[in-house]
Structure 1
Amino acid sequence: MINNNTETTVQTTRKPIVLVPTGAKEYGGHWYQLMGKKYLDPLVHIADCAPVMLPTAYGEDRIEQYLDMADAIFLSGASTNIDPTLYGQEWLTQDQAQDKGRDNFNIALIRAGLKRGLPFLGICRGFQELNVAFGGDLYQKVHETPGMQDHREKDSEAPLTEQYGPNHSIKLVPDTWLQKILGVNDMMVNSLHGQGVKTLGRGIVALAHAEDGLVEAAYCPEFSQFTLGVQWHPEWLATENPLSVKLFKAFGQAARDYSGQR
Protein backbone atom coordinates (compact mmCIF):
# COMPACT_ATOMS: atom_id res chain seq x y z
CA MET A 1 0.00 0.00 0.00
CA ILE A 2 1.39 3.38 -1.02
CA ASN A 3 1.27 6.28 1.41
CA ASN A 4 0.61 9.26 -0.88
CA ASN A 5 1.76 11.65 1.84
CA THR A 6 5.28 10.25 1.86
CA GLU A 7 5.66 9.13 -1.75
CA THR A 8 8.32 11.02 -3.68
CA THR A 9 8.75 11.34 -7.41
CA VAL A 10 12.22 11.01 -8.89
CA GLN A 11 12.62 13.22 -11.91
CA THR A 12 15.26 12.36 -14.49
CA THR A 13 16.80 15.22 -16.40
CA ARG A 14 17.42 14.38 -20.03
CA LYS A 15 21.08 14.62 -20.96
CA PRO A 16 21.90 16.01 -24.41
CA ILE A 17 22.76 13.22 -26.83
CA VAL A 18 26.14 13.53 -28.54
CA LEU A 19 26.81 11.37 -31.59
CA VAL A 20 30.30 9.83 -31.49
CA PRO A 21 31.27 7.93 -34.66
CA THR A 22 33.58 4.97 -34.15
CA GLY A 23 36.55 3.74 -36.17
CA ALA A 24 37.50 0.39 -37.69
CA LYS A 25 40.25 -1.70 -36.08
CA GLU A 26 41.41 -5.25 -36.75
CA TYR A 27 42.54 -7.54 -33.92
CA GLY A 28 43.39 -11.18 -34.43
CA GLY A 29 41.56 -11.43 -37.72
CA HIS A 30 38.37 -9.83 -36.35
CA TRP A 31 37.20 -6.31 -37.22
CA TYR A 32 35.88 -4.02 -34.49
CA GLN A 33 34.22 -0.62 -34.33
CA LEU A 34 36.01 1.20 -31.53
CA MET A 35 36.08 4.45 -29.58
CA GLY A 36 38.59 5.29 -26.87
CA LYS A 37 37.16 5.84 -23.40
CA LYS A 38 39.40 8.89 -22.97
CA TYR A 39 37.23 10.69 -25.56
CA LEU A 40 33.98 9.71 -23.86
CA ASP A 41 35.04 10.68 -20.33
CA PRO A 42 34.95 14.48 -20.78
CA LEU A 43 31.65 14.25 -22.67
CA VAL A 44 30.14 12.55 -19.62
CA HIS A 45 32.00 14.12 -16.71
CA ILE A 46 32.52 17.69 -17.98
CA ALA A 47 30.05 18.37 -20.80
CA ASP A 48 27.41 16.36 -18.87
CA CYS A 49 26.09 14.75 -22.04
CA ALA A 50 25.08 11.24 -23.09
CA PRO A 51 27.42 9.92 -25.80
CA VAL A 52 25.95 7.53 -28.37
CA MET A 53 28.50 5.67 -30.47
CA LEU A 54 27.74 5.22 -34.17
CA PRO A 55 29.22 2.48 -36.38
CA THR A 56 30.82 3.95 -39.48
CA ALA A 57 31.18 0.61 -41.30
CA TYR A 58 27.72 0.44 -42.88
CA GLY A 59 27.54 3.48 -45.12
CA GLU A 60 25.70 6.74 -44.82
CA ASP A 61 22.08 5.64 -45.34
CA ARG A 62 21.11 5.99 -41.67
CA ILE A 63 22.72 9.37 -40.99
CA GLU A 64 19.49 11.38 -41.07
CA GLN A 65 17.90 8.95 -38.62
CA TYR A 66 20.88 9.29 -36.28
CA LEU A 67 20.69 13.06 -36.52
CA ASP A 68 17.00 13.03 -35.59
CA MET A 69 17.91 11.93 -32.06
CA ALA A 70 21.04 14.06 -31.65
CA ASP A 71 21.87 17.30 -29.87
CA ALA A 72 25.54 17.54 -30.93
CA ILE A 73 28.31 15.80 -32.88
CA PHE A 74 31.74 14.86 -31.56
CA LEU A 75 34.56 13.52 -33.77
CA SER A 76 37.62 12.02 -32.11
CA GLY A 77 41.19 11.47 -33.13
CA ALA A 78 42.39 8.11 -34.49
CA SER A 79 45.51 6.26 -35.59
CA THR A 80 44.28 6.21 -39.19
CA ASN A 81 44.77 8.91 -41.81
CA ILE A 82 42.11 10.35 -44.09
CA ASP A 83 42.13 9.03 -47.66
CA PRO A 84 44.04 11.80 -49.54
CA THR A 85 42.08 11.23 -52.75
CA LEU A 86 39.24 13.01 -50.91
CA TYR A 87 41.29 16.21 -51.08
CA GLY A 88 43.01 15.67 -54.43
CA GLN A 89 46.38 14.23 -53.39
CA GLU A 90 48.25 10.98 -53.86
CA TRP A 91 48.76 8.68 -50.88
CA LEU A 92 52.13 9.56 -49.33
CA THR A 93 51.78 7.82 -45.95
CA GLN A 94 51.30 4.19 -46.84
CA ASP A 95 52.87 3.17 -43.53
CA GLN A 96 49.72 4.53 -41.85
CA ALA A 97 46.38 2.74 -42.07
CA GLN A 98 43.28 4.28 -43.60
CA ASP A 99 39.63 3.99 -42.64
CA LYS A 100 37.60 4.92 -45.71
CA GLY A 101 34.33 3.89 -44.11
CA ARG A 102 34.93 6.43 -41.38
CA ASP A 103 36.01 9.08 -43.89
CA ASN A 104 32.85 8.82 -45.96
CA PHE A 105 30.51 8.50 -42.99
CA ASN A 106 31.95 11.41 -41.02
CA ILE A 107 32.16 13.78 -43.96
CA ALA A 108 28.49 13.16 -44.71
CA LEU A 109 27.63 13.47 -40.99
CA ILE A 110 29.45 16.80 -40.71
CA ARG A 111 27.71 18.33 -43.72
CA ALA A 112 24.23 17.14 -42.74
CA GLY A 113 24.65 17.86 -39.03
CA LEU A 114 25.95 21.39 -39.39
CA LYS A 115 23.19 22.17 -41.87
CA ARG A 116 20.67 21.12 -39.20
CA GLY A 117 22.28 23.44 -36.64
CA LEU A 118 23.89 20.78 -34.45
CA PRO A 119 26.88 21.88 -32.34
CA PHE A 120 30.14 20.27 -33.45
CA LEU A 121 33.48 19.49 -31.82
CA GLY A 122 36.28 17.71 -33.68
CA ILE A 123 39.61 16.66 -32.20
CA CYS A 124 42.77 15.95 -34.26
CA ARG A 125 41.51 13.68 -37.06
CA GLY A 126 38.04 15.04 -36.38
CA PHE A 127 39.30 18.56 -37.07
CA GLN A 128 40.93 17.35 -40.28
CA GLU A 129 37.67 15.66 -41.32
CA LEU A 130 35.84 18.95 -40.83
CA ASN A 131 38.33 20.71 -43.07
CA VAL A 132 38.17 18.07 -45.80
CA ALA A 133 34.35 18.04 -45.63
CA PHE A 134 34.35 21.65 -46.82
CA GLY A 135 36.96 21.31 -49.54
CA GLY A 136 40.15 21.93 -47.57
CA ASP A 137 43.31 19.83 -47.78
CA LEU A 138 46.05 18.57 -45.49
CA TYR A 139 49.77 18.34 -45.09
CA GLN A 140 50.32 14.60 -45.17
CA LYS A 141 53.71 14.96 -43.50
CA VAL A 142 53.94 18.19 -41.54
CA HIS A 143 57.39 17.20 -40.27
CA GLU A 144 58.75 17.02 -43.84
CA THR A 145 57.28 20.36 -44.90
CA PRO A 146 59.82 23.21 -45.15
CA GLY A 147 59.37 25.72 -42.37
CA MET A 148 57.18 23.43 -40.28
CA GLN A 149 58.03 21.82 -36.97
CA ASP A 150 57.67 18.14 -36.10
CA HIS A 151 54.25 17.88 -34.44
CA ARG A 152 54.46 14.17 -33.70
CA GLU A 153 54.91 12.87 -30.17
CA LYS A 154 58.57 13.04 -29.22
CA ASP A 155 58.85 9.37 -28.22
CA SER A 156 56.10 6.92 -29.19
CA GLU A 157 57.55 4.39 -26.73
CA ALA A 158 57.43 6.78 -23.78
CA PRO A 159 54.70 6.54 -21.10
CA LEU A 160 51.41 8.12 -22.14
CA THR A 161 51.85 10.90 -19.59
CA GLU A 162 54.95 11.98 -21.52
CA GLN A 163 53.45 11.48 -24.99
CA TYR A 164 50.44 13.59 -24.05
CA GLY A 165 52.39 16.13 -22.04
CA PRO A 166 52.79 19.79 -23.10
CA ASN A 167 54.68 19.92 -26.39
CA HIS A 168 54.51 23.41 -27.90
CA SER A 169 52.67 26.69 -27.54
CA ILE A 170 49.82 28.01 -29.66
CA LYS A 171 48.57 31.57 -30.02
CA LEU A 172 44.85 32.24 -30.07
CA VAL A 173 43.49 34.75 -32.56
CA PRO A 174 42.68 37.85 -30.44
CA ASP A 175 39.09 38.85 -29.67
CA THR A 176 37.58 35.64 -30.98
CA TRP A 177 34.93 33.68 -29.09
CA LEU A 178 37.40 30.87 -28.37
CA GLN A 179 39.93 33.29 -26.91
CA LYS A 180 37.21 34.78 -24.72
CA ILE A 181 35.94 31.37 -23.54
CA LEU A 182 39.42 30.15 -22.62
CA GLY A 183 40.50 33.51 -21.22
CA VAL A 184 44.10 33.27 -22.48
CA ASN A 185 46.07 34.63 -25.41
CA ASP A 186 48.39 31.64 -25.72
CA MET A 187 48.65 28.19 -24.20
CA MET A 188 50.73 25.03 -24.19
CA VAL A 189 49.22 22.01 -25.91
CA ASN A 190 50.14 18.39 -26.49
CA SER A 191 50.92 17.31 -30.03
CA LEU A 192 50.63 13.80 -31.49
CA HIS A 193 49.90 14.26 -35.18
CA GLY A 194 51.88 13.77 -38.37
CA GLN A 195 49.27 15.45 -40.55
CA GLY A 196 47.69 18.88 -40.29
CA VAL A 197 45.47 21.41 -42.00
CA LYS A 198 47.11 22.98 -45.06
CA THR A 199 44.42 24.97 -46.88
CA LEU A 200 41.32 25.82 -44.88
CA GLY A 201 38.04 24.62 -46.36
CA ARG A 202 35.27 26.90 -47.60
CA GLY A 203 33.98 29.10 -44.82
CA ILE A 204 36.37 27.74 -42.19
CA VAL A 205 38.25 30.39 -40.19
CA ALA A 206 41.32 29.89 -38.00
CA LEU A 207 41.11 30.50 -34.25
CA ALA A 208 44.64 29.49 -33.21
CA HIS A 209 48.06 28.82 -34.73
CA ALA A 210 51.20 26.99 -33.68
CA GLU A 211 54.57 28.72 -33.63
CA ASP A 212 55.24 27.58 -37.21
CA GLY A 213 51.89 28.90 -38.45
CA LEU A 214 50.05 25.57 -38.55
CA VAL A 215 46.34 26.00 -37.87
CA GLU A 216 45.58 24.51 -34.44
CA ALA A 217 41.92 25.51 -34.10
CA ALA A 218 39.19 26.71 -36.45
CA TYR A 219 35.43 27.10 -36.74
CA CYS A 220 32.66 27.65 -39.31
CA PRO A 221 31.19 31.16 -38.81
CA GLU A 222 28.56 30.68 -41.50
CA PHE A 223 26.80 28.38 -39.03
CA SER A 224 25.40 30.10 -35.97
CA GLN A 225 25.88 27.16 -33.59
CA PHE A 226 29.03 26.08 -31.74
CA THR A 227 31.53 24.66 -34.26
CA LEU A 228 35.13 23.94 -33.34
CA GLY A 229 37.98 21.80 -34.54
CA VAL A 230 41.24 21.54 -32.58
CA GLN A 231 44.45 19.81 -33.58
CA TRP A 232 45.63 18.99 -30.04
CA HIS A 233 44.06 16.49 -27.61
CA PRO A 234 42.10 18.35 -24.91
CA GLU A 235 40.41 15.09 -23.89
CA TRP A 236 43.62 13.81 -22.26
CA LEU A 237 43.20 14.11 -18.47
CA ALA A 238 40.67 16.81 -19.25
CA THR A 239 39.38 17.19 -15.70
CA GLU A 240 42.90 18.14 -14.60
CA ASN A 241 43.29 20.85 -17.25
CA PRO A 242 41.28 24.05 -16.56
CA LEU A 243 41.34 25.06 -20.24
CA SER A 244 40.04 21.66 -21.36
CA VAL A 245 37.29 21.95 -18.76
CA LYS A 246 36.24 25.32 -20.19
CA LEU A 247 36.20 23.92 -23.72
CA PHE A 248 34.10 20.86 -22.92
CA LYS A 249 31.74 22.85 -20.70
CA ALA A 250 31.12 25.25 -23.60
CA PHE A 251 30.41 22.32 -25.92
CA GLY A 252 28.06 20.76 -23.38
CA GLN A 253 26.17 24.03 -22.96
CA ALA A 254 25.80 24.32 -26.74
CA ALA A 255 24.33 20.80 -26.80
CA ARG A 256 21.88 21.75 -24.01
CA ASP A 257 20.89 24.91 -25.85
CA TYR A 258 20.14 22.87 -28.97
CA SER A 259 18.24 20.29 -26.92
CA GLY A 260 16.09 23.02 -25.40
CA GLN A 261 14.98 24.11 -28.87
CA ARG A 262 13.73 20.65 -29.86
Structure 2
Amino acid sequence: MRLQQLERAQAVVAVTSNRLLVDDVHRDWLRRKYVQALHHHAGVSCIILPTIDAKDASEEVAMAIMRRVDGLMLTGDESNIDPTVLTAPASFTDADEQDVEPGILDRPRDRLSAMSIQSAIALGMPILGICRGLQELNVYFGGTLRPSLAAWRPESGIMHAEKPDRPRDRQYDAAHSVSVSSDGALFPIARTIEAQVNSLHNQGIEALAPALRREAWAPDGLVEAVSVIGAPTLQIGVQWHPEWHVSTDLLSKQLFKAFGEACLGYCRTKTG
Protein backbone atom coordinates (compact mmCIF):
# COMPACT_ATOMS: atom_id res chain seq x y z
CA MET A 1 0.00 0.00 0.00
CA ARG A 2 2.80 2.41 0.87
CA LEU A 3 4.44 1.76 -2.51
CA GLN A 4 1.16 2.53 -4.30
CA GLN A 5 0.83 5.81 -2.37
CA LEU A 6 4.36 6.85 -3.31
CA GLU A 7 3.71 5.99 -6.94
CA ARG A 8 0.51 7.99 -7.03
CA ALA A 9 2.25 10.96 -5.38
CA GLN A 10 4.25 11.29 -8.59
CA ALA A 11 1.11 12.85 -10.05
CA VAL A 12 0.85 16.61 -9.44
CA VAL A 13 -2.43 18.52 -9.28
CA ALA A 14 -2.82 22.27 -9.88
CA VAL A 15 -5.16 23.89 -7.34
CA THR A 16 -6.89 27.23 -7.86
CA SER A 17 -6.40 29.94 -5.24
CA ASN A 18 -8.56 32.96 -4.43
CA ARG A 19 -7.82 36.66 -4.06
CA LEU A 20 -7.97 38.21 -0.62
CA LEU A 21 -7.86 41.99 -0.12
CA VAL A 22 -6.79 43.08 3.37
CA ASP A 23 -5.62 46.61 4.23
CA ASP A 24 -5.47 47.34 0.48
CA VAL A 25 -2.96 44.53 0.04
CA HIS A 26 -3.76 41.81 -2.51
CA ARG A 27 -3.00 38.25 -1.36
CA ASP A 28 -3.63 34.81 -2.83
CA TRP A 29 -5.06 32.30 -0.37
CA LEU A 30 -6.42 28.78 -0.10
CA ARG A 31 -7.96 26.68 2.67
CA ARG A 32 -5.67 23.82 3.62
CA LYS A 33 -8.57 21.34 3.62
CA TYR A 34 -8.13 21.01 -0.16
CA VAL A 35 -4.39 20.37 0.06
CA GLN A 36 -4.81 17.86 2.88
CA ALA A 37 -7.53 15.94 1.04
CA LEU A 38 -5.42 15.76 -2.11
CA HIS A 39 -2.36 14.58 -0.21
CA HIS A 40 -3.97 12.07 2.14
CA HIS A 41 -6.91 10.76 0.10
CA ALA A 42 -6.10 11.37 -3.57
CA GLY A 43 -2.46 10.50 -2.92
CA VAL A 44 -1.15 13.26 -5.18
CA SER A 45 1.21 16.19 -4.77
CA CYS A 46 -0.11 19.66 -5.55
CA ILE A 47 0.89 23.16 -6.56
CA ILE A 48 -1.20 26.27 -5.95
CA LEU A 49 -2.03 28.43 -8.96
CA PRO A 50 -1.89 32.20 -8.37
CA THR A 51 -4.84 34.39 -9.33
CA ILE A 52 -4.54 36.60 -12.41
CA ASP A 53 -4.78 40.40 -12.69
CA ALA A 54 -6.49 42.05 -15.65
CA LYS A 55 -3.20 43.37 -17.05
CA ASP A 56 -1.78 39.82 -17.12
CA ALA A 57 -4.79 38.01 -18.58
CA SER A 58 -3.48 38.14 -22.14
CA GLU A 59 -0.17 36.43 -21.28
CA GLU A 60 0.13 32.87 -22.55
CA VAL A 61 1.38 31.33 -19.31
CA ALA A 62 -1.50 29.08 -18.28
CA MET A 63 -0.85 26.39 -20.88
CA ALA A 64 2.87 26.30 -20.05
CA ILE A 65 2.09 25.69 -16.38
CA MET A 66 -0.68 23.18 -17.04
CA ARG A 67 1.57 21.06 -19.26
CA ARG A 68 3.66 20.36 -16.16
CA VAL A 69 0.80 18.97 -14.05
CA ASP A 70 -1.51 15.96 -14.16
CA GLY A 71 -4.82 17.31 -12.93
CA LEU A 72 -6.79 20.42 -12.01
CA MET A 73 -8.83 21.11 -8.89
CA LEU A 74 -11.23 24.05 -8.97
CA THR A 75 -11.80 24.99 -5.33
CA GLY A 76 -14.77 26.59 -3.62
CA ASP A 77 -15.05 30.17 -2.39
CA GLU A 78 -17.65 32.56 -0.99
CA SER A 79 -17.42 34.95 -3.95
CA ASN A 80 -19.84 34.88 -6.88
CA ILE A 81 -18.72 34.32 -10.47
CA ASP A 82 -18.59 37.20 -12.95
CA PRO A 83 -19.67 35.40 -16.17
CA THR A 84 -18.27 38.19 -18.36
CA VAL A 85 -14.77 37.59 -16.99
CA LEU A 86 -14.98 33.81 -16.86
CA THR A 87 -16.04 33.52 -20.50
CA ALA A 88 -13.59 36.15 -21.81
CA PRO A 89 -10.83 36.76 -19.23
CA ALA A 90 -8.59 38.83 -21.51
CA SER A 91 -11.32 41.19 -22.71
CA PHE A 92 -12.32 42.70 -19.36
CA THR A 93 -9.73 45.29 -18.36
CA ASP A 94 -11.17 47.24 -15.42
CA ALA A 95 -8.64 48.35 -12.85
CA ASP A 96 -7.51 45.57 -10.53
CA GLU A 97 -8.61 47.60 -7.49
CA GLN A 98 -12.23 47.15 -8.62
CA ASP A 99 -11.89 43.40 -9.11
CA VAL A 100 -12.27 42.17 -5.53
CA GLU A 101 -15.14 42.58 -3.09
CA PRO A 102 -14.80 40.16 -0.15
CA GLY A 103 -17.44 37.45 -0.32
CA ILE A 104 -19.03 39.03 -3.41
CA LEU A 105 -16.62 39.40 -6.33
CA ASP A 106 -13.29 37.81 -7.25
CA ARG A 107 -12.39 38.51 -10.86
CA PRO A 108 -8.72 37.48 -10.45
CA ARG A 109 -10.04 34.03 -9.49
CA ASP A 110 -12.44 34.08 -12.45
CA ARG A 111 -9.54 34.76 -14.82
CA LEU A 112 -7.48 31.98 -13.28
CA SER A 113 -10.31 29.47 -13.52
CA ALA A 114 -11.13 30.37 -17.11
CA MET A 115 -7.56 29.97 -18.28
CA SER A 116 -6.87 26.82 -16.28
CA ILE A 117 -10.11 25.13 -17.44
CA GLN A 118 -9.31 25.99 -21.04
CA SER A 119 -5.86 24.45 -20.70
CA ALA A 120 -7.05 21.35 -18.84
CA ILE A 121 -9.74 20.64 -21.45
CA ALA A 122 -7.27 21.16 -24.31
CA LEU A 123 -4.80 18.78 -22.65
CA GLY A 124 -7.46 16.20 -21.75
CA MET A 125 -6.47 16.04 -18.08
CA PRO A 126 -8.58 15.14 -15.02
CA ILE A 127 -10.64 17.92 -13.43
CA LEU A 128 -12.36 18.04 -10.05
CA GLY A 129 -14.55 21.09 -9.45
CA ILE A 130 -15.87 21.76 -5.95
CA CYS A 131 -18.81 24.10 -5.20
CA ARG A 132 -17.75 27.30 -7.01
CA GLY A 133 -15.66 25.01 -9.20
CA LEU A 134 -18.77 23.21 -10.46
CA GLN A 135 -20.40 26.56 -11.21
CA GLU A 136 -17.25 27.69 -13.05
CA LEU A 137 -17.39 24.64 -15.30
CA ASN A 138 -21.02 25.37 -16.11
CA VAL A 139 -20.41 29.05 -16.92
CA TYR A 140 -17.24 28.28 -18.88
CA PHE A 141 -19.17 25.91 -21.17
CA GLY A 142 -22.05 28.35 -21.70
CA GLY A 143 -24.46 27.53 -18.88
CA THR A 144 -26.07 30.02 -16.50
CA LEU A 145 -26.43 30.37 -12.73
CA ARG A 146 -29.31 31.33 -10.50
CA PRO A 147 -28.25 34.56 -8.73
CA SER A 148 -29.98 33.47 -5.52
CA LEU A 149 -31.53 30.13 -4.64
CA ALA A 150 -33.62 31.83 -1.97
CA ALA A 151 -35.14 34.06 -4.67
CA TRP A 152 -35.81 30.97 -6.81
CA ARG A 153 -37.48 28.96 -4.06
CA PRO A 154 -37.30 30.16 -0.44
CA GLU A 155 -37.24 26.60 0.90
CA SER A 156 -34.41 25.74 -1.47
CA GLY A 157 -32.40 28.69 -0.24
CA ILE A 158 -32.66 27.35 3.30
CA MET A 159 -31.69 23.86 2.17
CA HIS A 160 -28.54 24.92 0.35
CA ALA A 161 -27.36 27.94 2.33
CA GLU A 162 -24.55 28.16 4.87
CA LYS A 163 -25.71 27.60 8.46
CA PRO A 164 -24.07 30.50 10.35
CA ASP A 165 -25.64 29.50 13.69
CA ARG A 166 -23.49 26.35 13.77
CA PRO A 167 -19.76 25.98 14.55
CA ARG A 168 -17.69 26.07 11.35
CA ASP A 169 -16.95 22.34 11.38
CA ARG A 170 -20.63 21.45 11.83
CA GLN A 171 -21.68 23.69 8.93
CA TYR A 172 -20.21 21.01 6.68
CA ASP A 173 -22.40 18.22 8.07
CA ALA A 174 -24.84 16.55 5.67
CA ALA A 175 -27.64 18.96 4.73
CA HIS A 176 -29.72 17.08 2.16
CA SER A 177 -29.77 14.05 -0.11
CA VAL A 178 -28.79 13.84 -3.77
CA SER A 179 -29.96 11.37 -6.39
CA VAL A 180 -27.14 9.94 -8.51
CA SER A 181 -27.61 9.04 -12.17
CA SER A 182 -27.18 5.28 -12.56
CA ASP A 183 -25.46 5.51 -15.94
CA GLY A 184 -23.06 8.41 -15.51
CA ALA A 185 -19.48 9.03 -14.43
CA LEU A 186 -20.31 9.56 -10.75
CA PHE A 187 -22.16 6.28 -10.13
CA PRO A 188 -19.10 3.99 -10.40
CA ILE A 189 -17.43 6.24 -7.82
CA ALA A 190 -20.39 6.69 -5.45
CA ARG A 191 -21.66 3.10 -5.90
CA THR A 192 -25.11 4.25 -4.88
CA ILE A 193 -28.07 6.08 -6.42
CA GLU A 194 -28.61 8.24 -3.33
CA ALA A 195 -26.21 9.97 -0.96
CA GLN A 196 -26.16 12.63 1.75
CA VAL A 197 -24.10 15.77 1.12
CA ASN A 198 -23.28 19.06 2.80
CA SER A 199 -24.38 22.37 1.31
CA LEU A 200 -23.01 25.91 1.67
CA HIS A 201 -23.88 28.00 -1.37
CA ASN A 202 -26.28 30.75 -2.42
CA GLN A 203 -26.04 30.33 -6.19
CA GLY A 204 -26.60 27.24 -8.29
CA ILE A 205 -26.96 26.02 -11.85
CA GLU A 206 -29.92 27.43 -13.76
CA ALA A 207 -29.34 26.26 -17.34
CA LEU A 208 -26.95 23.34 -17.65
CA ALA A 209 -24.26 23.86 -20.29
CA PRO A 210 -24.71 21.64 -23.40
CA ALA A 211 -21.21 20.19 -22.91
CA LEU A 212 -22.06 18.94 -19.42
CA ARG A 213 -24.03 15.94 -18.23
CA ARG A 214 -26.15 15.97 -15.06
CA GLU A 215 -24.69 13.43 -12.65
CA ALA A 216 -26.62 14.19 -9.44
CA TRP A 217 -29.43 16.45 -8.28
CA ALA A 218 -31.03 17.64 -5.02
CA PRO A 219 -34.65 16.97 -3.98
CA ASP A 220 -35.62 20.41 -5.36
CA GLY A 221 -34.14 19.53 -8.77
CA LEU A 222 -30.98 21.64 -8.44
CA VAL A 223 -28.04 20.10 -10.27
CA GLU A 224 -25.50 18.89 -7.70
CA ALA A 225 -22.90 17.17 -9.88
CA VAL A 226 -21.87 17.30 -13.55
CA SER A 227 -19.34 15.70 -15.88
CA VAL A 228 -17.89 16.82 -19.19
CA ILE A 229 -19.52 14.88 -22.02
CA GLY A 230 -17.04 12.82 -24.01
CA ALA A 231 -14.13 13.54 -21.64
CA PRO A 232 -11.09 11.29 -22.10
CA THR A 233 -10.72 10.99 -18.32
CA LEU A 234 -12.53 11.99 -15.13
CA GLN A 235 -13.71 15.59 -15.53
CA ILE A 236 -16.35 16.17 -12.90
CA GLY A 237 -17.75 18.86 -10.63
CA VAL A 238 -19.78 18.62 -7.42
CA GLN A 239 -21.77 21.32 -5.65
CA TRP A 240 -20.91 20.07 -2.17
CA HIS A 241 -17.59 20.09 -0.26
CA PRO A 242 -16.07 16.59 -0.16
CA GLU A 243 -12.78 17.90 1.22
CA TRP A 244 -14.20 18.88 4.60
CA HIS A 245 -15.04 15.51 6.21
CA VAL A 246 -13.18 13.26 3.77
CA SER A 247 -11.62 11.20 6.55
CA THR A 248 -15.05 10.03 7.77
CA ASP A 249 -17.37 10.35 4.75
CA LEU A 250 -17.29 7.40 2.35
CA LEU A 251 -18.48 9.28 -0.75
CA SER A 252 -15.84 11.96 -0.22
CA LYS A 253 -13.13 9.31 0.14
CA GLN A 254 -14.24 7.56 -3.02
CA LEU A 255 -14.34 10.81 -4.98
CA PHE A 256 -10.81 11.86 -4.03
CA LYS A 257 -9.49 8.33 -4.58
CA ALA A 258 -11.00 8.24 -8.09
CA PHE A 259 -9.57 11.66 -8.88
CA GLY A 260 -6.12 10.60 -7.68
CA GLU A 261 -6.24 7.45 -9.80
CA ALA A 262 -7.27 9.47 -12.86
CA CYS A 263 -4.38 11.88 -12.29
CA LEU A 264 -1.92 9.00 -11.95
CA GLY A 265 -3.26 7.47 -15.18
CA TYR A 266 -2.82 10.79 -16.97
CA CYS A 267 0.71 11.12 -15.54
CA ARG A 268 1.60 7.68 -16.89
CA THR A 269 0.42 8.57 -20.39
CA LYS A 270 2.76 11.58 -20.36
CA THR A 271 5.78 9.65 -19.16
CA GLY A 272 4.90 6.79 -21.51
Which band: TM-score by shorter chain?
Answer: 0.7 to 0.9
Alpha-carbon separation, structure 2, partners of 1:118 and 1:212: 32
- Aligned pairs (5 A) from 1:37-186: 37-58=32-53, 59-60=56-57, 61=59, 62-85=61-84, 96-146=103-153, 149-150=156-157, 151-153=159-161, 155-186=163-194
- 1:155 and 1:172 map into 2 onto residues whose CA distance is 25
Q: CA deviation at 1:130?
A: 0.6
Question: Who is 1:35 aligned against?
Answer: 30
Note the residue ranges of structure 1 that are not aligned, 5 or more in a row.
Answer: 1-11, 89-93
Q: Which residue of 12, 15, 27 corresponds with 2:10? A: 15
Whichever residue aligns with residue 20 of structure 2, its letter is: K
Q: Would the aligned equivalents of 1:43 and 1:248 in 2 still touch at CA under 8 Å?
A: yes
Please point out which of 237, 253, 261 is paired with 2:261. 253
CA shift at 1:202, angstroms?
2.6
TM-score scaled by length of structure 2 = 0.85
> Which is further off, 195-204 or 58-67?
58-67
Question: Which region of structure 1 is more displaced relative to structure 2, 39-48 or 150-159?
Answer: 150-159
Alignment of 1:180-195 (within 5 A): 180-195=188-203
Q: Please, which of 219, 224, 231 is the counterpart of residue 211 of structure 1?
A: 219
Cα distance, 1:87–1:254 mapped onto 2, change above 3 Å = closer
Q: Does 1:25 align with 2:20?
A: yes
Q: Are 2:67 and 2:123, in contact at CA under 8 Å, matched by a contact in 1?
A: no
Q: Secondary structure at the match of 2:224?
A: strand
The CA distance in 2 between the partners of 1:158 and 1:57, in whole Å, is 34
SS of the counterpart of 2:42?
coil
Contact 2:160 2:175 in 1 (8 A): no
Distance (Å, rounded) in 1 between the aligned partners of 2:41 and 2:153: 39
1:230 aligns with 2:238: yes
1:3-33: CA deviation from partner (whole Å, max 9, x where unpaired): xxxxxxxxx7552110012110022332210
For residues 197-227 of structure 1, the C-alpha deviation after alignment (integer angstroms, 9 at most, x for no partner) is 1111131010000000000000012222111
Contact 1:124 1:232 in 2 (8 A): yes
What SS does the aligned partner of 1:122 have? strand
Q: Report the CA distance shift for 1:84/1:69 in structure 2 as closer, same or farther (over 3 A).
A: closer
Give the paired residue count: 246
> Can you list the C-alpha shifts for 1:208-249, whole angstroms capped at 9, x where unaligned?
000000000000122221110000011112111111110000
Q: Which amino acid aligns with 2:207?
A: T
**Counterpart Cα distance in 2 of 1:245 and 1:105:** 27
How many Å separate the matches in 2 of 1:148 and 1:82? 23
What TM-score, normalized by structure 1, do the two folds share? 0.88
Tell me, yes or no, if structure 1 residue 199 matches structure 2 residue 207: yes
With 153-162 and 101-110 compared, the bigger mean Cα shift is at: 153-162
Tell me if the contact between 1:147 and 1:212 (Cα under 8 Å) persists in the aligned partners.
no
Q: Relative to total residues, which structure has the larger helix share, 1 or 2?
A: 2
- Counterpart-to-counterpart distance in 1, 2:132 and 2:110: 10
Task: Please give the root-mean-square deviation of Cα atoms over the aligned residues, in Å.
Answer: 2.0
Larger Rg: 1
